[in-house]
Homo-oligomer: A and B are copies of this chain.
Amino acid sequence: MSSTSPTRSITPAIDHVHIELGERSYPILIGHGPSLWQQAQQHFPKGTSALIVTNTTVAPLYAQALRERLQAHYPVIHEVVLPDGEQYKDWQTLNLIFDALLGHGADRKAVLFALGGGVIGDMTGFAAASYMRGVPFVQVPTTLLAQVDSSVGGKTAINHPLGKNMIGAFYQPRLVVCDIDTLQTLPPEQLSAGLAEVIKYGPIYDMAFFAWLEQHVADLRAQQPDALRHAIRRSCEIKAAVVSADETESGLREILNFGHTFGHAIEAGMGYGAWLHGHAVAAGMVQASRLSHLLGHLPDDSFTRRLVQLLQQAGLPVQSPRIDPQRNTARYLELMRVDKKSQGGAIRYVVLKEPGKAITEKVDDATVIPLLDAIGRVTI
């Protein structure tokens, strides 16, 4: 796919990405200020009531403003404030949304608004998918990670005590509104964590975007609006192109998990919450890039070095941590096998055929072991 000229794309105040999924198509609007919301309102689903679903962190910051923006469109607006955190992404918390809907007598013309990060988006989406077998919902992601990743693709879920995201639905929002003003309250490490997923889209799909990121990474960390808008738009476009071709995750979509097999092992191995997801993915992408070289796809380590430099400039870790003092390599392999649900045999990784093009490939442990053995011993 060809790159987009940053000059052209930065000109308009509001960016618009169309997610083409037939009758389930929807727009993503990216921008800030009154003009963003004027456009957004034109896409609000019709309904007899609205329910804002948010959490205790986001509610005091943005719930009132959203409520005012909904007022002209829905006769009744309610709000449910969930506890904040991945540990609440469970049935009990989901049920608070159903309790609110039923308590307010909401019918099938209720519209849900997910105001928050990925957890709020996932839970609100699954509630919308299931309430009376499906009501419309709108994503208003307030973290960079949610804006570039979890609000596109229609994956909704809650966790089960025996596994993450085990219970859910493929269910598309009617509209996604990425208001970059909401990023101003995001802690810097969370902004960096979001940048990891932004950077990911370069090696898997679009090296011109990667080059643009190399030039603008400082602007992004400084929250320069035009730069943010372009980065979010291009990320959504790439994710959309991949997801449109594979809505229910049969194959192609796997390339979006570049760096995630190593990353998930880091998250699980360090104990959930110790490493931010985006940080683990950053270190994981470095490993996946090295593996691509070991497999003979990349001729040398020049791309890995570019990747390391950009990740560092984005404030992200590039070294994988030791997750077990005695048997670090074996533990990584165990966790990666669990992540991939491989019963045995070679694990399937997302690797780079070349910079800008990812593929999946089964790789023998013997090829991966040297990378894992080097953890904690090699400096970059």
Cβ B102 vs Cβ A169 within 8 A: no
Cβ B95 vs Cβ A131 within 8 A: no
**Among residues 83 to 102 in chain A, which have CB atoms less than 8 Å away from a CB atom of chain B?**
91, 95, 98-99, 102
Cβ B133 vs Cβ A168 within 8 A: yes
Cβ B91 vs Cβ A166 within 8 A: no
Given contacts A160-B98, A248-B134, is CB(A169)–CB(B103) below 8 Å? no
Hey, which bits of chain A sit against chain B, CB under 8 A? 91, 95, 98-99, 102-103, 107, 129-134, 155-157, 160, 162-163, 166-170, 248-249, 341
Cβ B102 vs Cβ A91 within 8 A: no
Minimum distance in angstroms from A184 CB to a CB of chain B: 33
Cβ A169 vs Cβ B129 within 8 A: yes
Q: Which of B162, B163, B169 contacts A130 (CB 8 A)?
A: B169
Minimum distance in angstroms from A303 CB to a CB of chain B: 33
Cβ A168 vs Cβ B130 within 8 A: yes
Chain B residue at minimal CB-CB distance from A157? B133
Contacts of A98 in B (CB 8 A): 160, 166-167
Contacts of A129 in B (CB 8 A): 169
9 closest cross-chain pairs (CB), A and B? A102-B162, A133-B168, A130-B167, A107-B341, A133-B170, A98-B160, A102-B163, A133-B169, A102-B160
Contacts of A131 in B (CB 8 A): 166-167
Q: Which of B103, B156, B170 contacts A162 (CB 8 A)?
A: B103
Contacts of A107 in B (CB 8 A): 341
